[in-house]
Structure 1
């Protein structure tokens, strides 16, 4: 199990960025609050909060499953923990909870803890954490890794208990991202300098394959238009998968383009783009190309510290 603060698994998880974002926060000198409109696994924000780099974290996700899980972790983790401790990962359970996710999407009501656990189980037992994918090891379990490869109940429970202790410094929302961003702008009218948005929207190229809540092309355009409007007034960092379409959308911020290499499923190396608002350039220091190199962790060794070129 990788050493992240989040109990969730997502391709291209942003936990690896936290030390770099720490340098941005220190250069700025005023930021003490991070806002994530697309929370997902929330690895970056949680790392910053746990390491006392920030003192407030606002997280939002329109996805009913992601919101249900975070709500359970922060507000009532005991029943979720009980379920984690008393289940044996199996393909039969994978099929059962996959069906439950479909039932929820079709409007069938379940208690919040059932929704949260169903999503959590599938996330931890699917390949690369892709909820739309199949189980680790395949349905016949003929792969090198088995369905329980990412299910270490003691480690998962420890993470959940640790995150629950941070709950007083976290606020959770279940809004459309535009409503959420505008709400935060309104709430921080007199203190917007202390706020930074970390925006990690659904991938452009393969988002439909990865997420239950994905973007169509017009959604990407609307996000770019919103960020361009607040480019000079508010602090934000944006990450995307590499594509010419996205590069064209963010020409207004092209000078601050960056990149990161990472792997999905332990196979192909991908590249991401990183953009920064002009408001962050108010402090000395240019945000240029970023390269974060990480070697894959051997089973019995810790992953080496990421190397940053800024």
Structure 2
């Protein structure tokens, strides 16, 4: 079933998995998992879950996010929609706002400020920082002396339209704040009781520390692999193609290396891995920027 994902998520992420949505839809169909509840323990842009919800491939979605700004954004989208929209409408997209919002960027929890203020800050930094990286600097630099200014990717009309579109899923989405591994361990038995599909897109193994505010060390990547490989739930994980990741999942028969075409600073091609305990169909015409690697 073709999945429409264009401009669905208001959040920008390096290595966006939007190009995977059609393929994951085919994985669900191949394994008789349509109408499932999709669980994303590393929600980020949540574009895969949102696209599958909108196309009715998935019935419900569970989003888990450790970053308080990203969690608060999604919580605000689905549960405080019009207050968030009002704040976006009235928000000055300036370097002064960027500096003033530092108080939110320093938060490590969700109890210090209102969820909408934290969510607004998460959206603001995502749309005004280099490549959508929350820990990065502002587009245009602190002096705003470059060609592209801080507001060049903050189209309020488009963002508000996206939020209104997504708010229609509010009764089909649950959002949780916390550590992905803790959530998975606590709910391991629940995943076996219903029609669940776990899609994990953890921080990159090699560049995670430079891209995300919350990243994994080697032992944490290994703990995720141990959990997945010992679990009987239906799962698929996407990773940067690294020898250590291949080693962790060496006993998993469904491993497909693919090329992703996407841009951080300039268009380039990256190798990534799709790994699953499900039967993975061939990658064919799912997206023009997703290509199989014939020799792993």
Q: Decide: shared fold, TM above 0.5.
A: yes
**C-alpha contact 2:196 2:234 (8 A) present in aligned 1:** yes
Structure 2 gaps of 5+ residues are none
What do residues 122-159 of structure 1 show as CA deviations (whole Å, max 9, x unaligned)?
A: 11100110111111122222333221111110111111
Q: Give the alignment partner of residue 136 of structure 1, picking from 136, 139, 148.
A: 139
Corresponding residue number in structure 1 for 2:265? 265
Q: How many positions carry a matched residue from both structures?
A: 287
Q: Classify 1:12/1:99 alpha carbon distance in 2 versus 1 (closer, same or farther; 3 Å).
A: same
What do residues 159-192 of structure 1 show as CA deviations (whole Å, max 9, x unaligned)?
A: 111111101111111232223223443224333x
**C-alpha contact 1:38 1:199 (8 A) present in aligned 2:** yes
Corresponding residue number in structure 1 for 2:198? 197
Give TM-score scaled by structure 1 length.
0.85
Q: Give the alignment partner of residue 122 of structure 1, picking from 119, 122, 125.
A: 125
The whole-number CA distance in structure 1 between the counterparts of 2:30 and 2:163 is: 32
What do residues 210-265 of structure 1 show as CA deviations (whole Å, max 9, x unaligned)?
A: 111111111011011111102xx221110111211111111112552222322223
**C-alpha contact 1:4 1:15 (8 A) present in aligned 2:** no
The offset of 1:271, in angstroms, is 2.2
Give TM-score scaled by structure 2 length.
0.89
The whole-number CA distance in structure 1 between the counterparts of 2:44 and 2:290 is: 25
Which structure is higher in helix share?
Answer: 1
Higher relative contact order by CA 8 Å / sep ≥ 6: 1 or 2?
2
Which secondary structure does the structure 1 equivalent of 2:33 belong to?
coil
**C-alpha contact 1:81 1:157 (8 A) present in aligned 2:** yes
Corresponding residue number in structure 2 for 1:14? 17
The whole-number CA distance in structure 2 between the counterparts of 1:106 and 1:162 is: 28
Corresponding residue number in structure 2 for 1:302? none
